Structure 1
Amino acid sequence: MSSHIASAIGHPNIALIKYWGNRDHNLRLPSNGSLSMTLGDLETVTQVTFDPSMTEDRLYLNENAISGPSLDRVSLHLDVIRTMAKLSFKAEIISHSNFPVGAGIASSASGFAALTVAAAAAAGLELNPSQLSRIARLGSGSACRSIFGGYVEWKAGTNDHNSFAETIADQDHWDLVDIIVIVEEGHKSVGSTSGHKLAESSPLQDARIHDTERRLSICRQAILQRDFLSLASIVEEDSNMMHAIMMTSRPQLLYWRPETVAIMKSIQEWRHAGMQVCFTIDAGPNVHCLCPSRYKDQVGDLLKQIPGVIRLIHSVPGGAAHLLPIKSPSID
């Protein structure tokens, strides 16, 4: 049975140019390309065991047995790998994350990246990173970016085979820090999968998609040239554009809390005063505050003074999803 067990680690990522909306929901083919930074201090560790004695898949997240739609989604993803490996065994999946799940910190990205790497290895498949990225995309679109480390671009592609991510700069290229400002710990009311399906109902989505290549080009160059002011401008613009789609979808999605807006305004004021800092917000109320590492203490102290801030989570750029030595965690 040892050949049917594998463990892997995956990191979430913060999208600098956002993925929002699909042109094919089943294959998670995105409406637009995207660009992100992998977050090295946040992680999901997942162990997969394919067991011929099991009659159904079992999923444990942070010590809790999971059933219903979340288990179904994982089982469907495992089916892709089982089909590729010509394997029929059901699986036990044990997964732990060291950050809030379902709160706009890309927990599905790290989760499905780790799951893909571990399950593929446990099933005996030898896949390259591009293949792993394509498969991870089927479970969670942003997971295709978490297969890679550093600064990562997801090419929208034209079909299932050429829509995957690649690294444009490694994790040591630029010493940015992501300070995640937690204003709400719980699960968001509408998950990203549902939100992607609503995107096309916004009258603004077509214009956003049409403009994507411009934003990607500016962001890509800003990263490669380590030009923070250019990065700040385009990252905030792109984040606001995505939330404009959410707010004009039918039904409307409003993830922001009053604290979210207060943090956004404060960050812009600090930048106008000369500090290198900017914000971006995924599908949730929590704010990602980006700055060069030399500003992290100053920015962190200022953020803590804003009413409603529960806590801060810091992360530097991180590496690719990869296999880990096998452990034997027990579930009581």
Structure 2
Amino acid sequence: MIAEDFILKNYNSSVESGSVKWESPSNIALIKYWGKKENQIPENPSISFTLSNCKTITKLTYTKKDLSTALKVTSDFSFDVYFESEKNEAFKPKIQTFFERIEAYVPFLRDYHFKIETSNTFPHSSGIASSASGMSALALCLMSVEVDLGADYTSEYFNKKASFLARLGSGSACRSIEGELVVWGQNESTESSDLYGIKFDGEVHPNFKNYQDTILLVDKGEKQVSSTVGHKLMFGHPFAEQRFAQAHDNLAKLKTTLASGDLQNFVKIVESEALTLHAMMMTSMPYFILMKPNTLEIINKIWKYRAENISNVCFTLDAGANVHVLYPENEKESVLKFINDELAKYCQNGHFISDFIGKGAQLIEK
């Protein structure tokens, strides 16, 4: 599909009001995308596990503007944002930008006033990809409004357009619509698109079913550098082209690994990708070190535990200090004991979140 396929051409503008509520999960990339072109197009492909417990719940209420009001503010989008039940002005610029990017595909945006009520099941801006779950939940709500306004979509088209819209809010958000593994970015190894995430089409060995992800909250504060700024640092980066090629190569290797069930190879690919992501930030200009001392302590503890216990536990990182501890379900009891006994002390206030691989977003009410 091409971008023009997602333009809503006709809708019932007489609908006065309605509301819809979706929950959408975060995701954790195994192959990382870092660097993007215009219109939120990734420089390299990525693949992620969709999470289950770490999610955003968003209710969107829409009310038709009255004619006198509409004539006065035709150039404006009209919306209010409530985060954790409190009005939040800080989120408005990002949603304003999102609406500007998607208006060509969602032309009813200026016809209505929107009340956006959103909350997370995890700390905002803590490196658990809150923009991914948040923007995907909002995109899904807007897709449900399209249906309210008379659109008749297959579930496949609905999900693809939701992913397409979410990408224009936050790149990684396009990987949060479906589960369990989602690919984004054109490549030769899998069915894929630069425009939206696609459910991984390869074989997945039982070893990777119901995979576990425990997120160690090393630092719950705002990230030192936003992902938007970080992606821009790939322009002119001395190692950018080699990194993009590496991601393609690692995705091909991971596809083979997921089919074979080779857990040791999975560990090597995933940890290498995480460290490469941070290496790109440390070698950009300006440069950043987003890991904290406790991040490194945790990584070394994981390596020691894995060697001593013949375990398949491993780590991955997003663009922040927190550590995602990945492990197969059959190691859940022993790894959680290890986390409680040895790793929790490196977390802020001892906090961590136990999660596992999920099925994607869900409609809560309409």
TM-score scaled by length of structure 1: 0.89
Q: Distance in 2 between matches of 1:43 and 1:206?
A: 33
Greater mean alpha carbon deviation, residues 234-243 or residues 263-272 = 263-272
Q: Deviations over 1:208-246 (max 9, x none)?
A: 112221100111222233321111100001111110001
Residues 1:295 and 2:331 aligned together: yes
What amino acid does structure 2 have at the position aligned with 1:16? L
Q: Distance in 2 between matches of 1:134 and 1:111?
A: 14
2:105 is paired with a residue of what secondary structure?
A: helix
- Select which of 22, 28, 32 maps to 1:8: 22
- Select which of 149, 155, 159 maps to 2:185: 155
* Contact 2:205 2:258 survives alignment (8 Å): no
* Contact 1:44 1:110 survives alignment (8 Å): yes
Greater mean alpha carbon deviation, residues 144-153 or residues 298-307 = 298-307
Q: Distance in 1 between matches of 2:104 and 2:210?
A: 41
Aligned to 1:108: 131
* Contact 2:131 2:170 survives alignment (8 Å): yes
Deviation, structure 1 residue 81: 4.9
Q: Distance in 1 between matches of 2:241 and 2:18?
A: 45
What amino acid does structure 1 have at the position aligned with 2:364? L
Deviation, structure 1 residue 19: 1.2
- Select which of 60, 79, 84 maps to 2:82: 60
Deviation, structure 1 residue 148: 1.2
- Select which of 219, 237, 240 maps to 1:205: 240
Which structure is higher in helix share? 2
Greater mean alpha carbon deviation, residues 206-215 or residues 195-204 = 195-204
What amino acid does structure 2 have at the position aligned with 1:203? P
Aligned to 2:357: 317
Aligned to 1:18: 32
Q: Distance in 2 between matches of 1:251 and 1:155?
A: 27
Q: Distance in 2 between matches of 1:79 and 1:168?
A: 30
* Contact 1:59 1:71 survives alignment (8 Å): yes
What are the within-5 Å matches in structure 2 for residues 207-286 of structure 1?
207-273=242-308, 274-286=310-322
Residues 1:71 and 2:92 aligned together: yes
* Contact 1:36 1:151 survives alignment (8 Å): yes
Greater mean alpha carbon deviation, residues 173-182 or residues 6-15 = 173-182
Cα 1:50–1:231 change in 2 (3 A) is same
- Select which of 137, 154, 169 maps to 2:167: 137
2:52 is paired with a residue of what secondary structure?
A: coil
Deviation, structure 1 residue 297: 2.5
2:233 is paired with a residue of what secondary structure?
A: helix
Deviation, structure 1 residue 317: 0.8
1:11 is paired with a residue of what secondary structure?
A: strand
Greater mean alpha carbon deviation, residues 125-134 or residues 167-176 = 167-176
1:199 is paired with a residue of what secondary structure?
A: coil
Q: Distance in 1 between matches of 2:215 and 2:195?
A: 29
Q: Which is greater in Rg?
A: 2
Aligned to 2:52: 40
* Contact 2:25 2:361 survives alignment (8 Å): yes
Greater mean alpha carbon deviation, residues 248-257 or residues 223-232 = 223-232
Aligned to 1:166: 198
What amino acid does structure 1 have at the position aligned with 2:129? A
Residues 1:308 and 2:343 aligned together: no
Q: Deviations over 1:72-110 (max 9, x none)?
A: 221232345554343122311111110111111111111
Cα 1:80–1:267 change in 2 (3 A) is same
What amino acid does structure 2 have at the position aligned with 1:100? P
2:241 is paired with a residue of what secondary structure?
A: helix
Q: Distance in 1 between matches of 2:120 and 2:270?
A: 26
Aligned to 2:5: none
TM-score scaled by length of structure 2: 0.81
1:41 is paired with a residue of what secondary structure?
A: strand
**5+ long unaligned stretches in structure 1:** 327-332
What amino acid does structure 2 have at the position aligned with 1:11? P
* Contact 2:41 2:194 survives alignment (8 Å): no
Q: Distance in 2 between matches of 1:136 and 1:171?
A: 29
Q: Distance in 1 between matches of 2:100 and 2:243?
A: 34
Q: Deviations over 1:138-187 (max 9, x none)?
A: 10000000011101111247xxx852211116898612100111111122
2:219 is paired with a residue of what secondary structure?
A: coil
What amino acid does structure 2 have at the position aligned with 1:147? I
Q: Distance in 1 between matches of 2:197 and 2:365?
A: 26
The alignment of Structure 1 onto Structure 2 pairs a total of residues equal to 320
1:15 is paired with a residue of what secondary structure?
A: strand
What amino acid does structure 1 have at the position aligned with 2:26? P
